[in-house]
A and B are shown apart, each in its own frame.
Chain A
Amino acid sequence: MDFVTSALDYLLGIPFLGWGVQIGFVYKALLLLVVLLVFTAFILLADRKIWAAVQMRRGPNVVGPFGLLQSFADLLKFVFKEPIIPAGSDKALFLLAPLLTATLALGGWAVVPIDNGWAMANINIGILYLLGISSLGVYGVIIGGWASNSKYPFFGSLRAAAQMVSYEVSIGLVIITVLLCVGSLNLNDIVVAQTQMGLAHSLGVPWLSFLNWFWLPLFPMFVVFYISALAETNRPPFDLAEGESELVAGFMTEYSATPYMLFMLGEYISILLMCGMTVILFMGGWAAPIDLPPFTWIPGAIWFFIKLTLVFFMFAMAKSIVPRYRYDQLMRIGWKLFLPLSLVMVVIVAFVLKLTGWGWHGGIA
């Protein structure tokens, strides 16, 4: 039973009480979980407020000051309602689908470095793990739509699945261009690379560090990634999977109460995960935008969340100002525009890196 004690030490260790050699994994995970869930609650509110502001409405403004507690009121409402399971549904799968969505979305955050070295698991192939997790996310949608045993949810899940699988291809290729520049699949390395090389360094003004980040040299890929991230997470203008004018609520039609809340939570957390990926790949992760005192006093984790909020603001604005796409046009952009564009960019970036010797060579191993 030696392995049980070592596992317990690893999970629940408290070094200053003389138990284990490092702070237990469970505590760190719980801290991240709580921060993430509270952040998601306010991001949800921000989404609604931004949407309302663009349409010159007030948005939620009753619960708490400025409606700040609206998300928590919604949480209570969802939890205390009765979950209705349709009679003809596949009960086990019907309940599994929202759980899967929420768990996978939360699991993706295990590798995201909030600050230098601040990741639950700083693994060598972090970016591949994120890609894998986001490709698994489609199962929650498919299973949910199928298990409902109803037409509109099934249509919704078919649409969502085709959409997510298509846009994963261009996301993968965008990630490859970034990886070519970095030379490592470690998310920590990707951010470190953006602080150690780039335009600002070659111009001789290293303190203008926002010029170092990959959004500038890889700008077309940044745009492709942003739009693909919208499509991958079924955000408007690509929310055809739940287009209320045609499919009621898509794959979520039959869901109510806590299962519905889990779907929505999973969706928002995976949107935040996509925002986090944008921040890490293109916007320098935890690094301060200008490497001078008033900016460097702010801790990296705060910078990460500020940038995350900024990217989410872009997502929310896209939701409120861009009309919904038609489905065939969505597929056309994915396969006929983004795929060739990102393939060509992979070749160009590879050639440029090979011929000029640019790129970061300080990765582990």
Chain B
Amino acid sequence: MTLPLFFFYLFSIVAVASAFMVISSRNPVHAVLFLILTFVNAAGLFMLAGAEFLALILIVVYVGAVAVLFLFVVMMLDVDFAELKSGMLQYAPIGILVGVVLLLELLLVAGSFVISPDVSGSTGLPISIDMDNTRQLGLVLYTRYVFLFQGAGAVLLVAMIGAIVLTLRHRSTAKRQNPVDQVARKASETLKVVKVKSGQGL
């Protein structure tokens, strides 16, 4: 057993175990935290495969941003998990069906080298050993797949604008401040110093 192999088993065992805990833990917040542990271990596996850029992007994007939002929502919602779990058997057949389809697809992807070697052979790009994979990914993304990449960005932008439009409310009752106006205010325009004689008032 070599050191990378040891870490491979360590990361995979922890990833699978925490993935199981995601669906079996009673507390939803614990479930999200186990999901985060799964992400981190997946990042470790990427790192072992030499895809250090993907590993850290997984941490920055999924763990650092997406999972934070998950955690937010789960903490704020008052979900009664006992009630949710009571109907679990009812949905079990659908769940099992989805699981089986997913497993078959994964097996097909993993087995494509055996089933049709010509297909997987033509998509592979040669990877030169003397280039770090950030540069490698950049070269492929911005040349060969530039339109797909930009298209994906546009789809995300549209989705973001859509979400903002759906949730934006213009409340006329809310008092708003314009910081530019506040900063532009001068003492001479707003303040008046009045000399008041004692005992007289204005």
Contact = CB atoms under 8 A, between A and B. Distances in A.
A334 B64 CA distance: 17
B175 to A, nearest CB: 12
A143 B3 contact: no
Contacts of B33: 93, 143
A20 to B, nearest CB: 15
Interface string B41-81: 00000000000110011011001110010011001000000
B64 A168 contact: yes
Q: Is the interface of A mostly helix, strand, loop or mixed?
A: helix
Contacts of B3: 3, 6-7
B135 A365 contact: yes
A124 B72 contact: no
Contact of A135 (B1, B65, B75, B130): B65
B6 to A, nearest CB: 6
Interface in A111-143: 123-125, 128-129, 131-132, 135-136, 138-139, 142-143
A21 interface: no
B75 to A, nearest CB: 5
Contacts of B65: 135, 165, 168
B68 A125 contact: no
A181 to B, nearest CB: 16
B6 A128 contact: no
Contact of A132 (B36, B59, B135): B59
A158 B69 CA distance: 11
Nearest to B63: A136
A124 B1 contact: no
Contacts of A332: 179
Nearest to A172: B60
B135 A125 contact: no
Contacts of A139: 36, 68
A62 interface: no
B29 A135 contact: no
Given A7-B3, A138-B68, A132 B132 contact: no
Contacts of B2: 2-3
Interface string B1-12: 111011000000
Interface range for A: 20 to 34
B134 interface: yes
Nearest to A123: B52
Interface string B134-145: 110000000000
Interface range for B: 20 to 34
Contacts of B71: 142
A132 B53 CA distance: 11
Contacts of B59: 132, 135-136
Interface in A134-180: 135-136, 138-139, 142-143, 146, 154, 158, 161, 165, 168, 172
Contacts of A132: 56, 59-60, 63-64
A292 B63 CA distance: 46
B131 interface: yes
Contacts of B5: 3
A90 B63 CA distance: 22
A131 B60 contact: yes
Interface in B120-157: 130-132, 134-135
Given A138-B68, A158-B72, A124 B134 contact: yes
Contacts of B130: 365
Contact of A128 (B1, B56, B72): B56
A135 B64 contact: yes
A3 B1 contact: yes
A316 B2 CA distance: 48
Interface in A1-39: 2-3, 6-7
A231 interface: no
A329 B64 contact: no
Q: Across chains A and B, which 3 residue pairs bring their CB atoms closest together, nearest first?
A: A135-B64, A132-B59, A128-B56
Given A132-B63, A142-B72, A146-B29, 9 more contacts: A2-B1, A125-B132, A128-B60, A138-B68, A143-B33, A154-B75, A165-B64, A172-B60, A365-B131
